[in-house]
Amino acid sequence: MRYLIPLMVTVILTACQTSNEEMITPPEAKKVEKVLEIHGDKRVDNYFWMRLTDEQKEADNPDAQTQDVLDYLNAENDYLKAKMKHTLELQEKLYKEITDRIKPDDESVPYNKNGYSYYTRYEEGEDYPLHCRKELADGASEEVMLNGPEMGKDKSYFAIGGRSVSPDNKLLVYGVDYVSRREYTLFVKDLTTGELLSDKIENTTGGASWANDNETIFYTKKDPQTLRSFQVYKHKIGTDQSSDQLVYQEDDETFWISLQKSKSDEYLMIGSHQTLSSEVRVLDADKPDGKWRVIQPRERDHEYSVSHYGDHFYILTNDGAKNFKLMKTPVDQTEKENWVEVIPHRNDALLEDIDIFKDHYVLTERINGLNQLRVIRWDGSDEHYISFKDPAYMTYVDVNPEFESNVLRYAYSSLTTPNTIYDYNMDDRKQKIMKRTEVMDDNFSPDNYVSERLFATVRDNVKVPISLVYRKGTKLSAETPLLLYGYGSYGASMDAYFSSVRLSLLDRGFVFAIAHIRGGEEMGRAWYEDGKLLKKKNTFHDFIDCAKYLIEEDYTSSDHLYAQGGSAGGLLMGAIINMEPELWNGVIAGVPFVDVVSTMLDETIPLTTFEFDEWGNPKNKEYYDYIKSYSPYDNVEAKDYPNLLVTTGYWDSQVQYWEPAKWVAKLRELKTDDNLLLLHCNMDVGHGGASGRFKRYKEVALEYAFLLNLEGI
Provide the annotated active-site residues. Answer: 567, 652, 687
In 386-537 the beta strands, taken as DSSP E runs, fall at 393-397, 407-414, 420-425, 431-436, 449-457, 463-471, 482-485, 511-515
Instruction: For residue 242, give every residue at least 6 positions away whose Cβ sits within 8 Å of its Cβ, in sequence order, or none.
Output: none
Radius of gyration, CA atoms only, the chain = 26
Long-range CB contacts (within 8 A, 24+) of 267-270: 267/308, 268/209, 268/211, 268/218, 269/306, 270/232
Instruction: For residue 337, report the phi and psi dihedrals to the nearest 5 degrees.
Output: -65, -15
Give the separation between CA 353 and CA 356, rounded to whole angstroms: 10
Q: What is the 3-state secondary structure (H, E, C) of 336-361?
A: HHHCEEEECCECCEEEEEEEECCCEE
Give the separation between CA 78 and CA 96, rounded to whole angstroms: 23
Give the separation between CA 703 and CA 713, rounded to whole angstroms: 14
Write b or e for each residue in 648-668: b if 16 or more Cβ atoms lie within 10 A of its Cβ, otherwise e: bbbbbbbbbbbbbbbbbbbbb
| Sign of the torsion angle spanned by Cα atoms 398, 122, 507, 545 | negative
- Give 625: exposed, middle or buried? Use CB within 10 Å, 0-12, 13-18, 19+: middle
Given a contact cutoff of 8 angstroms between Cβ atoms, the answer to whether 249 and 197 are in contact is no
- Give 446: exposed, middle or buried? Use CB within 10 Å, 0-12, 13-18, 19+: middle
Instruction: For residue 422, give every residue at least 6 positions away whose Cβ sits within 8 Å of its Cβ, in sequence order, or none.
Output: 409, 410, 411, 412, 431, 432, 433, 434
Q: Is 98 helix (H, G, I), strand (E, B) or coil?
A: helix
CB neighbours (10 Å) of residue 158?
20
- Give 7: exposed, middle or buried? Use CB within 10 Å, 0-12, 13-18, 19+: exposed
CA 625 to each of CA 374, 540, 601, 616, 629: distance values in angstroms, whole numbers, following the listed order: 44, 17, 13, 11, 6
Q: What distance lies between CA 625 and its chain's CA centroid? A: 29
Give 412's strand partners: 395, 420
Residue in 8, 9, 6, 22 with CA at minimum distance from that of residue 86: 22
Name the region of 52 (left: φ>0; alpha: ψ -120 to 50; beta: rest): beta
Q: Is 529 helix (H, G, I), strand (E, B) or coil?
A: helix
Given a contact cutoff of 8 angstroms between Cβ atoms, the answer to whether 298 and 277 are in contact is yes
Indicate the angle between helix axes 696-711 and 88-100, nearest 10 degrees. Answer: 130
Query: What is the β-pairing status of strands 130-135 and 116-121?
Result: antiparallel
Residue in 182, 174, 107, 177 with CA at minimum distance from that of residue 142: 107
